[in-house]
Structure 1
Amino acid sequence: MKKAYKVEIKPTEQQEQKIKQTIGVCRYVYNLYLSKNKEVYEKEKKFMSGYDFSKWLNNVHTKQTDQWIKDVSSKAVKQSAMNAEKAFKNFFKGLTKFPRFKKKKNQDVKAYFPKNNKTDWTIERHRVKIPTIGWMKLKEHGYIPTHAIVKSGTVSHKAGRYYVSVLCEVDAQNNQININDGIGVDLGIKDFAVCSHHKVFENINKTLQVKKLEKKLKREQRSLSRKYEHFKKKGGVSAAKKRANIDKNLLRLQKIHARLTNIREEYVRTVVNSLVKAKPKYITIEDLNVKRMMKNRHLSDSVRKQKFFRFKQWLTSKCNEHGIELRAVDRFYPSSKTCSCCGSKKVDLSLSDRMFKCDDCDMELDRDFNASLNLKYAAEYTVITKR
Structure 2
Amino acid sequence: MKLRYRYRVYPTQNQQTKLAQLFGCCRVVWNDALALVKQSQEFPKNSDLQKSCITQAKRTEQRSWLKEVSNIPLQQSIADLGVAIKNYFDSQKGKRKGAAIGFPRFKKKDNRQSARFRKGGFSIKNGKVYLTKIGHLKTKWSRPLPSEPSSVTIIKDRRNRYFLSFVVEAEVQSSPAPNDAVGVDLGIKTFAVLSTGEKIDSPSYQKLNRKIRRFQRRLSKRLKGSKRRDLARLKVAKLKAKLRDTRKDFLHKLSSRLINENQVIALEDLNVKGMIKNRRLSRAISEAGWSEFRTMCEAKSQMNSREVRVISRWEPTSQYCSDCSYKWGKLDLSVREIICLSCGTLQDRDGNAATNIKNVGVGHTHDTKWTGSGCKTDVSAVCDELSTHLVDEQLVLFAS
With structure 2 as the length reference, what TM-score do the two structures score? 0.82
Q: Which moved more, 1:63-72 or 1:248-257?
A: 63-72
Residue in structure 2 matched with residue 73 of structure 1 by the alignment: 70
Q: Kindly state the Cα deviation for residue 302 of structure 1 after the two structures are TM-superposed.
A: 1.2
Alpha-carbon RMSD: 2.1
Q: Kindly state the Cα deviation for residue 380 of structure 1 after the two structures are TM-superposed.
A: 7.6
8 Å CA contact 2:172, 2:305 repeated in 1: no
Task: Give CA-to-partner distance per residue, 1:39-89, whole Å, 9 cap, x none.
Answer: 11xxxx322333321122134333233121232222211222222222223
Match of 1:54 among 50, 53, 61: 50
8 Å CA contact 2:185, 2:354 repeated in 1: yes
Residue in structure 1 matched with residue 185 of structure 2 by the alignment: 186
8 Å CA contact 2:116, 2:154 repeated in 1: yes
Q: Kindly state the Cα deviation for residue 123 of structure 1 after the two structures are TM-superposed.
A: 5.7
Q: What is the identity percentage for the equivalent residue pairs of Structure 1 and Structure 2?
A: 33
8 Å CA contact 2:318, 2:330 repeated in 1: no
Q: Which portions of structure 1, spanning 4 or more consecutive aligned residues, are displaced by more than 4 angstroms? A: none
Structure 1 residue matching 2:360: 3-state secondary structure:
coil
Match of 1:272 among 255, 270, 280: 255
CA distance in 1, matches of 2:64, 2:150: 30
Residue in structure 1 matched with residue 230 of structure 2 by the alignment: 247
Q: Kindly state the Cα deviation for residue 151 of structure 1 after the two structures are TM-superposed.
A: 0.9
Q: Kindly state the Cα deviation for residue 374 of structure 1 after the two structures are TM-superposed.
A: 0.5
Match of 1:215 among 210, 214, 225: 210
Match of 2:119 among 111, 115, 127: 115
CA distance in 2, matches of 1:379, 1:23: 46
Which residues of structure 2 form unaligned runs of 5+?
Answer: 93-99, 364-400
Assess, with a 3 A threshold, how the Cα gap between structure 1 residues 357 and 69 changes in structure 2: closer, same or farther.
farther
Please say if 1:37 is aligned against 2:34.
no
Match of 2:81 among 77, 81, 84: 84
Match of 1:316 among 278, 285, 298: 298
Letter in 2 for 1:321: M
Task: Give CA-to-partner distance per residue, 1:160-189, whole Å, 9 cap, x none.
Answer: 21111111223432312334x210111111
Residue in structure 1 matched with residue 378 of structure 2 by the alignment: none
Residue in structure 2 matched with residue 20 of structure 1 by the alignment: 20
Structure 2 residue matching 1:372: 3-state secondary structure:
helix
Assess, with a 3 A threshold, how the Cα gap between structure 1 residues 346 and 102 changes in structure 2: closer, same or farther.
farther
Residue in structure 1 matched with residue 393 of structure 2 by the alignment: none
Counting helix residues as a fraction of each chain, which structure ranks higher? 1
Equivalent pairs, count:
353
With structure 1 as the length reference, what TM-score do the two structures score? 0.85
CA distance in 1, matches of 2:22, 2:334: 53
From the CA coordinates, give the structure whose radius of gyration is larger.
2
Q: Kindly state the Cα deviation for residue 309 of structure 1 after the two structures are TM-superposed.
A: 1.8
Assess, with a 3 A threshold, how the Cα gap between structure 1 residues 31 and 336 changes in structure 2: closer, same or farther.
farther
CA distance in 1, matches of 2:334, 2:87: 40
Which residues of structure 1 form unaligned runs of 5+?
Answer: 232-241, 382-387
Structure 2 residue matching 1:183: 3-state secondary structure:
strand
Q: Kindly state the Cα deviation for residue 124 of structure 1 after the two structures are TM-superposed.
A: 4.4
